[in-house]
Amino acid sequence: MEILPALFQKEKIGRMFPDVVFGVCSTKDPLLENCRDNMEKILPGAAYLVVIAAAHSPAALNSGNIQVKQYDTLYTYQRAGDLSHLLCREIAAAGHAAVAVPAFLPIDMLGEGKGMRGEICWRRAGVAAGLGRIGKSGLLVTKAFGPAVRLGGLLTTYPCKDLISKKEGEDQNGDANSCENCAVCLESCPAGALGEFKIDKKKCGDYIFAYGLRRFSRFLEELFAADEQKRREILRSPALRELWQNFMTGCYYYCWECQASCPGGKRRGQTGQGT
């Protein structure tokens, strides 16, 4: 696979990867101000950020079966990750440095209150790379696939100036995917966590991570406090099986409504580069 040369020919890359869009931005883009130090630490001297948006299957996201959605999520993250790593290897072979940056986990969870902050804010990066804009849901709404994407990418020293997608001064809200007169994503949120361009992260997190870290620590607390009889019950509980599955698969989401409900995503489906 030759992604690097294809990147310079939009049509070719659209044919090679109909379920993916790529964008490139400068690491000096003002939108990336809050992660500039992280980027410099990851790859000193990296001048460009390649952003990859891999599309979910709309049918899977609209399925009534949670496991199907989790499976699709794993695939979509992997797709963004695989392409990032492949591109890095090609760039290395061309004599330049490139580092793939995690799309989600692993993430630095050490500092107090820092638990869920990505090294690179992929939504902002997506806007900087011209892939779309921030929608009312707070998600990156891509021109190609709406918000039903997983974002990833890489930092590189490879000279990508010609690939920078966004023209200087371009209106970041100026694409056809307008959220104006639409609030479907806000109305669809079962946790009531979404307001226009704002999110109650705790409400959302409690809902989507029903069997995530917080549930796991509660599980341990209950286990440690229990007598022998209760301990046996806890160890046979459905909660432990659910947690075990999540540890095994690496996917522990339980909600995709703001991604699945967006008419932008449904309208566009998976029809190529869409730009």
Determine if 124 is a binding residue for ligand B12 (CB under 6 A): yes
Residue span 208-237 as binding mask against ligand B12, x where in contact by CB under 6 A, dash where not: x-----------------------------
- With contact defined as beta carbons under 8 Å apart, do 121 and 102 qualify? no
Angle at CA of residue 60, ends 56 and 63, nearest 5° = 145
Determine if 50 is a binding residue for ligand B12 (CB under 6 A): no
Determine if 17 is a binding residue for ligand B12 (CB under 6 A): no
Determine if 145 is a binding residue for ligand B12 (CB under 6 A): no
Determine if 129 is a binding residue for ligand B12 (CB under 6 A): no
Determine if 58 is a binding residue for ligand B12 (CB under 6 A): no
Angstrom distance (rounded) from CA 270 to CA 118: 27
Which residues have a Cβ under 8 Å from the Cβ of 55 and sit 6 or more positions away? Answer: 19, 20, 76, 144, 145, 148, 149, 270
Options 55, 91, 131, 204; binder of ligand B12; rule CB under 6 A: 204
- Min dist CB 85 to ligand B12, Å, is 15
Provide the H-helix boundaries in 104-236: 122-128, 184-188, 201-208, 213-225, 228-235
Determine if 84 is a binding residue for ligand B12 (CB under 6 A): no
- With contact defined as beta carbons under 8 Å apart, do 252 and 212 qualify? yes
Options 46, 50, 60, 140; binder of ligand B12; rule CB under 6 A: 140
Options 259, 262, 264, 265; binder of ligand B12; rule CB under 6 A: 259
- With contact defined as beta carbons under 8 Å apart, do 149 and 76 qualify? yes
Options 57, 70, 84, 137; binder of ligand B12; rule CB under 6 A: 137
Q: Residue 51: left if φ>0, alpha if ψ -120 to 50, beta else—which one?
A: beta
Determine if 252 is a binding residue for ligand B12 (CB under 6 A): no
- Min dist CB 9 to ligand B12, Å, is 26
